[in-house]
Amino acid sequence: MKAIILSGGKGTRLRPLTYTGAKQLVPVANKPILWYGIEAIVAAGITDIGIIISPETGQEVKTKTGNGDRFGAKISYILQDKPAGLAHAVKVAQPFLGDSPFLMYLGDNLVQSDLHLFCEQFTTRNLDALTLLCSVENPSAFGVAKVDDDGRVLQLVEKPKVPPSNLALVGIYLFSNAVHHAIASIQPSARGELEITDAIQYLIDQPKKVEARQLEGWWLDTGKKDDLLEANRIILDTCLQAAVGGEVDEQSQVIGRVQIGSGSKIVNCTIRGPVTIGSNCHLENCFIGPYSSVADQVTLIDADLEHSVILQGAKVVGIHQRVVDSVIGQRAQLKEAPQRPKALRFMIGDDSQIELV
């Protein structure tokens, strides 16, 4: 079995961060979102992976992710020259996939469930498609599946006004090679894209063997700032291992599960976990509260933050009000002028410079 991961798209809901980079490379707990998907796929026993990239951000994805050696995989990169739909991405990947069954994974997803179980069920039941579902409170915002008691998918509806269920398509699918004929047989939707839901519906109508399984753990779509912060919180809560690799002076307090990278210096700070701090950072006279991720080469001086994500190379200096629920981009600079505002909430893009007056 092979796998493809979709890592294109413009990431409009995460702008301004995604004006200058791929949304799938935005870090959660100091690791690119895309890498969690690769690791989950390799853990399921699939090591031949194709990553679908776009012209705008593809080179960055290739440079940061590499050939797959770090994951124990072989990674090929497949260019999708325009965002023409998920089924179009499969069509572009067909030379890589050949006649192999495959897993398709949307690169901005994070899931807790073990994918190996789903791959095993797909294979042993000789299915043509297996979709992963998760119950949601607002099904009208998603593709939704209607499923019978035996797990067979009866109908898929994209963002229905009257949802047939509360089971949303997670963005992880398994397909036999029958999907290629299905994609060749459908027409673009009203928005001009080849929809994977239409291709699966074609398989249902044939009829082919199309089933669904519900995720038991959490599912996180990291497409918006608050979703990204929630993903960061959950990953820190469930996966973080305490490890102090930098220098922490005697005036500092490190409380709870805290990870500090090599070369980082902590001077007169209180850090209350779960928190992860990258390598070669300088923190001085700071309070770093729970659910914060600080990437490599960040400078924080006279700053107070909690439940925030600070990207590589950013500088936050002289901010005496607590910064909360914020995402601060790479190399952004945030400093305070003499007059202080009462409250601060930010989403700051790469290379920004902000002075509070």
Considering 220, 235, 250, which residue would you say is the last residue of a domain?
235
Point out the domain boundary residue: 235, 268, 283. 235
pLDDT of residue 302: 95
Split the chain (357 residues) into runs of 10 and give each run's mean pLDDT: 86 51 82 93 97 91 95 97 92 97 92 88 96 88 87 87 88 96 94 91 94 85 78 91 93 96 97 96 97 97 94 91 89 74 66 62
pLDDT digits (tens, 9 = 90+) for 86-113: 999 999 999 999 999 999 999 888 887 7
In this structure, what CATH number is given to the domain that contains residue 77? 3.90.550.10
Query: In the 8-state DSSP scheme, what is residue 350?
Result: T
User: pTM (2 decimals)?
Assistant: 0.87
226 lies in the same domain as 262? no
Q: Are residues 207 and 311 in the same domain?
A: no
72 and 181 assigned to the same domain: yes
Q: What is the DSSP letter of 289?
A: -
pLDDT of residue 202: 95
Residues 40 and 130 in one domain: yes
98 and 63 together in one domain: yes
pLDDT computed for residue 287 by the predictor: 96
**Do 144 and 256 belong to one domain?**
no
How many separate domains does the chain show?
A: 2
CATH code for the domain in which residue 275 is found: 2.160.10.10
> Do both 306 and 282 map to the same domain?
yes
Indicate the burial class of 208 (C-beta count within 10 angstroms; 0-12, 13-18, 19 or more).
middle
97/226 same-domain check:
yes
111 with 220, same domain? yes
Per the structure, the complete domain to which residue 90 belongs is given by 2-235
If asked whether residues 198 and 278 sit together in one domain, one would say no
pLDDT of residue 341: 54
**Residue 208 shares a structural domain with residue 266:** no
* Domain final residue, candidates 235, 267, 282: 235
pLDDT digits (tens, 9 = 90+) for 308-347: 999 999 999 998 788 999 889 888 888 876 565 556 677 6
How much is the pLDDT for 337?
Answer: 64
Helices within the chain (DSSP H only): 33-43, 58-65, 86-97, 115-124, 178-185, 196-205, 225-239
Q: Kindly report the CA angle at 290 between 287 and 292, in degrees rounded to 5?
A: 85
Same-domain check for residues 216 and 280: no
Reply yes or no: is the peptide bond before residue 163 cis, omega within 30 of 0.
no
